[in-house]
Amino acid sequence: MNWRNWKSGTPSGACLRNEALLEDYLEGALTPKAHWDLEAHLSNCGPCAAALENARAGTDLVRRLTTPVADPGDVFTRRVMARVRDEESKIEEQQTWWHPLETLAMRLAVSSALAVALLVSAAAWRSNQAQAVSTSAQSFAVDRLLPDSAPELAAGSDTLMGAIAENHDK
């Protein structure tokens, strides 16, 4: 079989059929015959040999990244814990310094809200008082325009209008 006929446009330039076998080759999962056939091909195909080296480097990198690191020792642990305590003390200092200001700000906000509520209710009360005075003034003006016989005139709207017109002309 001519392995060069299996070349394709793979990114590594390796033969398509063999590139799929490289991982199994590195893991030792190929049958003996497939293993020997692939080794024979790798000795004659430069792109496939380069792809094998790249796969091997990638596998080694993954193994190194997933391998647990040895215990760094007591010195490292003490340093980390000392830094944690330092950071916690800094945070406590900031909170201690800011706490009175936060309390003052909260009290000012509540006081301001109460003052605004009182001002709004006072304005509403004054508005209602002004309306009541205005209504009583209008009522007083109507009583002055109409004569004492106003209840008798109120029986019919034509009569009422006539009385107003009479008083107006005078």
Please tell me the predicted confidence (pLDDT) of residue 153.
Answer: 46
Name the token pair of 154: 């109120």
Q: From 107, 109, 89, select the one nearest 97 (Cα to Cα).
A: 89
How far is 95 from 104, CA to CA, in rounded Å?
Answer: 14
Confidence of residue 1 (pLDDT cuts 50, 70, 90): very low
- Alpha carbon 37 to chain centroid, angstroms: 58
Give the number of other CB atoms < 10 A from CB of residue 6: 16
Name the token pair of 109: 């906000």
C-alpha distances in Å from residue 88, one per residue of 16, 93, 98, 111: 58, 9, 15, 34
pLDDT in tens, 48-63: 888 889 888 988 888 8
141: pLDDT strictly greater than 70: no
pLDDT in tens, 124-134: 888 888 777 66
Locate tokens 């814990």: which residue? 81
pLDDT in tens, 7-62: 444 555 678 787 778 888 888 888 999 889 888 888 888 888 888 898 889 888 88
**How does DSSP classify residue 70?**
P
Q: What is the pTM of this model?
A: 0.35
Confidence of residue 138 (pLDDT cuts 50, 70, 90): low
The β-bridge partners of 7 are 15
Confidence of residue 117 (pLDDT cuts 50, 70, 90): very high
How far is 133 from 136, CA to CA, in rounded Å?
Answer: 5
Please tell me the predicted confidence (pLDDT) of residue 81.
Answer: 93
Confidence of residue 82 (pLDDT cuts 50, 70, 90): very high
Domains and CATH numbers, the chain: 3-66 (1.10.10), 106-170 (no CATH)
Contact 47, 6 (CB under 8 A): no
Mean pLDDT of 67-89: 87
Share of the chain above pLDDT 70, in %: 70
Share of the chain above pLDDT 90, in %: 18
Contact 40, 67 (CB under 8 A): no
